[in-house]
Structure 1
Amino acid sequence: MARLSRLVLPGLPHHVIQRGHNRQAIFLDDADRQAYLAALQDVAASLRVAVHAYVLMAEHVHLLLTPPDEAALGLLMQGLGRRYVAAFNRRHGRSGTIWEGRYRATVIEPEPYTLPCMRYIEQNPVRAGLCLHAADWPWSSAAHHVGRRRDALISEPMPFWAQGNTPFEREMAWQRLLDEPLPDVQVQQMTDSALKGWVLGSGPFLARVGTSTGRPVAPRPRGRPRHAPTRDGGAA
């Protein structure tokens, strides 16, 4: 089956994954990570793209972003990629791209999926066995969300604000959520939706997006279609 064209819906959160070519490292040291985050902050600000969560792993990154218009997400990833690759190549005396083809992304329904997606992103180092607690990983937004540091890159989404009336309440609520592993089925759901481009949302949300965009938004059920039952209970 041909790969779906990338779907961008302004004003909605998008989960983005970008991997290194052949799963090679895209960060060799902390200076690389700092350069990537500086570029992300500059480009996101110039395009008015809100960054809600991120994590930098050795060979890939996860981002949760809300673009203000249809072009902004692609422009951000293009500008960020070019700027970071140029700096990476200069520092390490190499040439060529470091990315595995195009970035992967999916639209997510804000209310039920924003917080699980943030947990999925920030718990990535814990699942990889790199730390015991998500906020201990210095290269993610987790420490910001639990109040350990202020990260000017981050813009909290509305579902995060709903976690409490004060910053302390929100930070404590988020700490509790981060300490609870995301169920395996949700981890797989988050991964598959981003890598395959399927919209992540409830049935009514998928129906609305499908109708408004005129494109598939979820995989078809496997197997032969079920037939309507007849009056005697058999298949039609």
Structure 2
Amino acid sequence: MHASHRLRIGRYSMPGQIYLVTAVCKHRRAIFHDFAAARAVVHSLHEMNHAAETLAYVVMPDHLHWLMQLGDQLDLSATVQAVKSRTTSRIRQQVGTSIDVWQKGFHDRQLRKEDDLVDMARYVVANPLRAGLVNSVREYSFWDAVWL
């Protein structure tokens, strides 16, 4: 069974549901180490405000963590694909060539009612600290959270 198909098994979209989404760069390349490429992801997330409310995110050098609440009429896979597509288009315009940015598929975790959203948001934005990229999250440019 193909890996991207296994990622979709059991996935279903529930409008209004909160998800933690992880999308990874193709071959785990550190594409978002580049400031403009990381900003392309941030802009794409902001453009999706009609589809999903961003609760927290962090753009790591080779992947994205996105804590979001899906809109009322939308599909999780289509929403994530739209972010990935918009990001890829922006980066291709920046570099002037056709570059594959993302691995196929994504990982998602549907949060349960008992999950503490503040703790989850803190977990998301603390990724650069845990990865040893910075000594404080204040030193990292590519994160945001509505509660912190």
Q: State the TM-score, normalizing by the size of structure 2.
A: 0.84
DSSP 3-state at the match of 2:66: strand
Mapped partners of 1:13, 1:110: distance in 2: 9
Task: Identify the residue that residue 50 of structure 2 maps to in structure 1.
Answer: 46
Q: What are structure 1's unaligned runs of at least 5 residues?
A: 146-155, 161-173, 175-236
Task: Identify the residue that residue 137 of structure 1 maps to in structure 2.
Answer: 140
Task: Identify the residue that residue 5 of structure 1 maps to in structure 2.
Answer: 10
Superimposed CA distance per residue, residues 7-58 of structure 1 (whole angstroms, 9 cap, x where no aligned partner): 322222100000011111232421222222112111x2232x1100000110
Task: Confirm or deny that 1:64 pairs with 2:67.
Answer: yes
Q: Pick from 7, 15, 22: which aligns with 1:17? A: 22
Q: Pick from 105, 109, 112: which aligns with 1:109? A: 112
Tell me if structure 1 keeps the 8 A contact 2:18–2:69: yes
DSSP 3-state at the match of 1:101: coil
Mapped partners of 1:7, 1:120: distance in 2: 24
Please state how far the C-alpha of 1:111 moved relative to its aligned partner: 4.1
Tell me if structure 2 keeps the 8 A contact 1:13–1:64: yes
Task: Confirm or deny that 1:36 pairs with 2:79.
Answer: no
Tell me: higher relative CO, structure 1 or 2? Use CA pairs within 8 A at least 6 residues apart. Answer: 2
Could you list the structure 1 runs, at least 4 aligned residues long, displaced by more than 6 angstroms after superposition.
none
Mapped partners of 2:86, 2:65: distance in 1: 18
Larger Rg: 1
Q: State the TM-score, normalizing by the size of structure 1.
A: 0.55
Map 1:60-99 onto structure 2 (within 5 A). 60-69=63-72, 71-99=74-102
The letter for the 1-side match of 2:92 is: N
DSSP 3-state at the match of 2:14: coil
Tell me if structure 2 keeps the 8 A contact 1:13–1:110: no
Indicate the percent of aligned positions where both proteins have the same amino acid.
26
Tell me if structure 1 keeps the 8 A contact 2:45–2:83: yes
Normalized per residue, the structure richer in strand is 2
The letter for the 2-side match of 1:115 is: V
The letter for the 1-side match of 2:11 is: R
The count of corresponding residues between Structure 1 and Structure 2 is 143
The letter for the 2-side match of 1:17 is: T
Tell me if structure 1 keeps the 8 A contact 2:54–2:67: yes
Mapped partners of 2:113, 2:67: distance in 1: 11
Mapped partners of 1:70, 1:113: distance in 2: 25
Task: Identify the residue that residue 119 of structure 1 maps to in structure 2.
Answer: 122
Mapped partners of 2:140, 2:82: distance in 1: 26
Q: What are structure 2's unaligned runs of at least 5 residues?
A: none
The letter for the 2-side match of 1:82 is: S
Mapped partners of 2:136, 2:113: distance in 1: 25
